[in-house]
C-alpha cells in the first residue's frame, strides 16, 4: 500500500467518526426538550386548529416519526434508516410538506450564492494580503486597518448596511428574494437576468467580508515568510525579486489552504445569515423561518445538511492538501 492511500484511509476513518458524532448531536439535542417533545410540538403546531381529528392526525404522525415510545437506541436506528432513504420527516410549519422536499428546492440557491462568493473572496483576499506584505508602505498601512475593520463587522451587518444603502436608498439593486416575485421560474433571458440582479448584492457582501479575514491571515503569513532565512539567503545570492516573491507566496499559501478548511464552517454560517437579510430563497432563510415557527424537523434537516456539507468540504480540502503539500508527503514517506 503506498503512503498516500494510507493517508487517505486514515483521514476517511476520522471523518466517518466525526460524521457519526455530528449525527448523534443532531439526533439527541431536539430530544432533550423537557417532557415529551411530540406533545410539546404538536400543541404548538395545532394551535389554532379546532378540529380534533386533524390534531390527532398531526399528533399520531409525529409520534410515528419520532418513535418516542421506543428506547433511545431504537429511535436512533429509525433515524438513521430514514436518513439513508432520504426521509427527513415532515415539516410542522408547512405541514404536510416533506423536509427533504423543501431542502431540495433551497440547495441550488445556497450553493449558487456561497460557493462562488467564498472562492472569489478567498482568492482576492490572499492576493491582496500577499501584496500588502510585500509592498509594505502606504498600501499596507491603508489596507490592513480597513481589512481588520471589515473583518470585525459581522457578515449580516455588512449585508444590512449594503441592503439599506444600495437597494433602498439608491435603488440600484432589488431588495431581496432570488428573482422578481411576479415571475415563475423558467428558462429565459429575462428570468436569468433577474436572478443575476438579485444575486449581486448578497454575493458582494459575502465576498467583502471573506476578503477581509483572508487578507489579514495571508499578510501575517507572508511577513513571517519574508523574515525567514531562505529569503535573506536568496537575496544575498542575487535571485530576482519576482522569483523570491514566488517562493514566499507558495510557502505562505499552504497554511491558507488549511485555513480555508478550518474556517469554512464559520463562513457558511455567516453566509446563511446573509441570506436571511436578503430573504434569499436558500437554506439560511428556511432555517430562520423554521426557528420562528419552532419547526423542529426542518431545523434539524437544515443543521444536518449544513454539517454534512461542511464536513465534506473539509474532507475534500484535506485530501487535496495531502497531494499539494510536499511536507505532508515527506511525513508519509517517513512513516513507511
Residues making contact with other proteins (CB under 8 A) = 14-15, 17-18, 21-22, 25-26, 29-34, 133, 136, 140, 148-149, 151-157, 160-161, 163-164, 168-169, 175, 220, 223-224, 227, 262, 265-266, 268-270, 273, 276-277, 287-288, 291-292, 294, 296, 299-300, 303, 306-307, 310-311, 314
CB of 58 to other proteins, least distance (A): 20
| Cβ atoms of residues 59 and 271 within 8 Å | no
CB of 158 to other proteins, least distance (A): 8
| Cβ atoms of residues 94 and 102 within 8 Å | yes
Report the residue number, 10 or 64, with the smaller CB distance to other proteins.
Answer: 10
CB of 34 to other proteins, least distance (A): 6
CB of 217 to other proteins, least distance (A): 12
Report the residue number, 11 or 57, with the smaller CB distance to other proteins.
Answer: 11
Q: 84: Cβ–Cβ under 8 A, 6 or more apart, which residues?
A: none
CB of 53 to other proteins, least distance (A): 29
Report the residue number, 192 or 291, with the smaller CB distance to other proteins.
Answer: 291
Report the residue number, 204 or 287, with the smaller CB distance to other proteins.
Answer: 287
Report the residue number, 134 or 179, with the smaller CB distance to other proteins.
Answer: 134
What angle do the packed helices 52-66 and 37-45 form, to 10 degrees? 140
Q: Cα–Cα distance between 1 and 335 in angstroms, integer?
A: 12
In SS3 terms, 153-179 reads as CCHHHHHHHHHHHHHHHCCCCCCCCCC
Task: Tell me the three cell numbers of residue 67.
Answer: 418513535
Report the residue number, 59 or 288, with the smaller CB distance to other proteins.
Answer: 288
CB of 187 to other proteins, least distance (A): 31
CB of 70 to other proteins, least distance (A): 20
What angle do the packed helices 283-292 and 99-135 form, to 10 degrees? 120
Task: Tell me the three cell numbers of residue 302.
Answer: 437544515
- Residue 98, strand partner residues: 90
Task: Tell me the three cell numbers of residue 85.
Answer: 432513504
Report the residue number, 57 or 257, with the smaller CB distance to other proteins.
Answer: 257
Q: Which residue has the cell 449558487?
A: 112
Could you tell me if residue 136 is left (phi over 0), alpha (psi between -120 and 50 degrees) or otherwise beta?
left
Q: Which residue has the cell 424537523?
A: 297
Amino acid at each position: 500500500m503506498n503512503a498516500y492511500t494510507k493517508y487517505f484511509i486514515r483521514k476517511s476513518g476520522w471523518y466517518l467518526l466525526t460524521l457519526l458524532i455530528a449525527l448523534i448531536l443532531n439526533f439527541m439535542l431536539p430530544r432533550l426538550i423537557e417532557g415529551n417533545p411530540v406533545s410539546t410540538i404538536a400543541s404548538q403546531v395545532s394551535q389554532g386548529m379546532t378540529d380534533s381529528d386533524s390534531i390527532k392526525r398531526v399528533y399520531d404522525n409525529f409520534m410515528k416519526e419520532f418513535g418516542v415510545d421506543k428506547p433511545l437506541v431504537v429511535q436512533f436506528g429509525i433515524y438513521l434508516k430514514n436518513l439513508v432513504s432520504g426521509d427527513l420527516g415532515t415539516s410542522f410549519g408547512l405541514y404536510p410538506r416533506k423536509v427533504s422536499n423543501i431542502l431540495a428546492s433551497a440547495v441550488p440557491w445556497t450553493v449558487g450564492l456561497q460557493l462562488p462568493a467564498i472562492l472569489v473572496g478567498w482568492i482576492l483576499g490572499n492576493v491582496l494580503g500577499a501584496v500588502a506584505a510585500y509592498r509594505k508602505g502606504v498600501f499596507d498601512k491603508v489596507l490592513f486597518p480597513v481589512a481588520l475593520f471589515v473583518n470585525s463587522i459581522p457578515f449580516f451587518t455588512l449585508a444590512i448596511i449594503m441592503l439599506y444603502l444600495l437597494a433602498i436608498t439608491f435603488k440600484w439593486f432589488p431588495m431581496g428574494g432570488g428573482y422578481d416575485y411576479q415571475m415563475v421560474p423558467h428558462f429565459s433571458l429575462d428570468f436569468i437576468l433577474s436572478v443575476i440582479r438579485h444575486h449581486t448584492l448578497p454575493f458582494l457582501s459575502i465576498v467583502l467580508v471573506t476578503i477581509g479575514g483572508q487578507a489579514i491571515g495571508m499578510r501575517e503569513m507572508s511577513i513571517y515568510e519574508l523574515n525567514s532565512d531562505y529569503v535573506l539567503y536568496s537575496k544575498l545570492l542575487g535571485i530576482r525579486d519576482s522569483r523570491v516573491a514566488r517562493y514566499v507566496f507558495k510557502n505562505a499559501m499552504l497554511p491558507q489552504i488549511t485555513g480555508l478548511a478550518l474556517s469554512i464552517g464559520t463562513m457558511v454560517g455567516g453566509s446563511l445569515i446573509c441570506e436571511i437579510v436578503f430573504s434569499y430563497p436558500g437554506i439560511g432563510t428556511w432555517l430562520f423561518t423554521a426557528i420562528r415557527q419552532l419547526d423542529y424537523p426542518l431545523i434539524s434537516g437544515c443543521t444536518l445538511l449544513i454539517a454534512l456539507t461542511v464536513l465534506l468540504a473539509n474532507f475534500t480540502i484535506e485530501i487535496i492538501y495531502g497531494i499539494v503539500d510536499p511536507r505532508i508527503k515527506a511525513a508519509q514517506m517517513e512513516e513507511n
